[in-house]
Amino acid sequence: MLNAAVARTGLKDPADGRPLHYTPHDFRRIFITDAVISGLPPHIAQVIAGHKDINTTMGYKAVYPDEAIQAHLAFLARRRTLRPGEEYRVPTDAEWEQFLGHFELRKVATGTCGRAFGTPCAHEHSCLRCSMHWPDPAQRARIAEIRDNLTARIAEAEREGWPGEVEGLKISLAGAKDKLAQIDRRSRNSPINLGLPAAAHPRR
């Protein structure tokens, strides 16, 4: 219906003179262009569009980078006028120490917690269950050991007739398997050092 309407208008592409033609994918470009030019941060538009690379998002928008920057600055200025003024005051020493302490508490044995400042732990420190937990590839063996231990505990709970225990352990086991899968996916995408070729010794 849209293409039929465009055809009736007789509009043509100024680049090559061909009649305009729309596809459903064009609406993604229109949406991202409108969102970014209205001040939506490009990295937020990237998440909404589902792009892995922000350069893909920036390629979608039909605005110049300077326009995007100015639109984002205007967006920030509008947001600041709506927020309480005390949020922009200089923090006290105690508040600053509390802020820095938050990042220290994000360090856990199996990786890093991505929990935002001032938010409680939703999983009561059961980190492997949490989507905000970023597993450390160097701790893969530790997480695999936790997975094996959970498997053994589930077998014990099923054998002893503890269904309530089984349910909770299965949630933790699924979390451990997911963290291992995350590490493996990241490892596959990382560069591999093949080393330098050694010079062959001449035959005697």
Q: What is the pLDDT of residues 34-85, one digit of tens each?
A: 888 777 888 888 888 888 888 888 777 666 667 777 877 788 888 878 877 7
* Beta strands in the chain, from DSSP E residues, in sequence order: 107-108, 111-113, 133-135
Question: For 172-187, what is the HEC assignment?
Answer: HHHHHHHHHHHHHHHH
Q: Collect all residues with Cβ–Cβ distance below 8 Å to 79 and sequence separation of at least 6.
A: none
The more confidently predicted of residues 20 and 151 is: 151
Q: Across-strand partners of 112? A: 107, 134
Q: Where are the domains of the chain?
A: 2-82, 93-189
The SS3 of residue 44 is helix
Q: Could you report the per-residue pLDDT of 99-108, keeping only the tens digit for each? A: 888 877 778 8
Contacts of 113-122 spanning 24+ positions with Cβ under 8 A: none
**Mean pLDDT over all residues of the chain?**
81
- The answer to whether the CB of 48 falls within 8 A of the CB of 60 is no
Residues 6+ apart with CB under 8 A from 92: none
Contact between 61 and 29 (Cβ < 8 Å): yes
- Rounded to whole angstroms, the Cα distance separating 172 from 168 reads 7
Q: What is the pLDDT of residue 195?
A: 63
Query: pTM for the full model?
Result: 0.46
